[in-house]
Amino acid sequence: MGCSVVGSVNGDRVDLVGQESGTGPGTPGKGPRGGTSAGNGGGGADTGERLGPGGRRCLPLPGKSCGWGSRPGTGATEPRAPVRIVLSDIASFRPAPGVQHMEPDGWTVAGLDTNFYAVAVRQLVEGTLLGRPATVRFTPVGYAWDYGDGTAATLRTPGASWAALGLGEFDPTATSHIYRAVGEYTIRLRISFAPEYRYAEGPFIPIPGTVTLPANDLRITVGTAKTVLVDRDCARDPRGPGC
């Protein structure tokens, strides 16, 4: 049997549709009009037809049995026609959403860089299709930040913490953002994954498009250095803003 698989992006998931096709035995042809094969009780007139060798109908000649010197009957059984069989199946695969972080955690100073970064990894999501193993691989490829202050950025890097980058607090990074006005903001992030599928131990095949999922929301309070330091004196936090 032949098998084909097609993968497509459907909102926040990937659907794999499989079809397996082949042929099976057909149904026997019909008997002659007005009668049936002997013994079937078709209700038609008796034509004298009988089944001969190989299941063929025949009309016996005088003094001969069917199959010995007989001639074919007019209602010979039609051969069985092969029937095409198609099996269909569908399986859906969805990646786990990523997580976003910010530094400082929950607060920042207007005019200074706030560091945002995401944690999203390549994932293998496994399942079955037509009784065989199927796997979809999701690779993060895009990060769309909405900073809540009317600005946004779409980046190809998830960023990293200041410590992982070897930087100090409020140093600029590839994913940092500067708030210009004090207030409270909600930061939203959507992460896009490029999908590929593998069926029955075959190679991975790219699927057009991306699957985009929202990460967790963050809330941040933006103030000035003086207001931020009300509960963060320099003795406790020498690296705090303004110290």
More confident residue, 226 or 106: 106
Q: Please tell me which residue, 166 or 70, carries the higher pLDDT value.
A: 166
Question: How much of the chain, in percent, has pLDDT values that exceed 70?
Answer: 68
The arithmetic mean of pLDDT across residues 131-137, rounded, is 96
What pLDDT, on the 0 to 100 scale, is given for residue 39?
A: 39
* pLDDT > 90? residue 192: yes
Burial class (CB in 10 A: 0-12, 13-18, 19+), 225: middle
* DSSP state for residue 240 in the 8-state scheme: S
What number is the average pLDDT over the span 87-105? 95
CATH classification code of 96-129+138-231: 2.60.40.10
Q: What is the mean pLDDT of residues 115-129?
A: 97
> Which pLDDT does position 22 carry in this prediction?
73
Q: What is the pLDDT of residue 47?
A: 47
Whether this prediction's pTM lies above 0.75 is answered by no
Greatest mean pLDDT among 18-27, 59-68, 158-167: 158-167
pLDDT value at 155 more than 80? yes
Rounded mean pLDDT of the chain? 82
- pLDDT (average), residues 212-224: 97
Looking up tokens 């969805």 gives: 94
Could you tell me if 102 and 218 are in contact, meaning their C-beta atoms sit under 8 angstroms apart?
yes
The continuous run of DSSP H or E covering 201 comes out as none
DSSP codes of every residue in 39-87: TS---S-----EE-GGG-EEEPPTT--TTSS-EE-TTPPPPPPPEEEEE
- Mean pLDDT value of segment 80-102: 88
How sure is the predictor about 42, in pLDDT bands with cuts at 50, 70 and 90?
very low
What residue ranges do the domains of the chain occupy? 96-129+138-231
At residue 139, does pLDDT exceed 60? yes
- The structure tokens 């691989």 sit at 137
Q: Which amino acid is at 132?
A: R
State the average pLDDT over residues 193-197.
98
pLDDT exceeds 60 at position 71: no
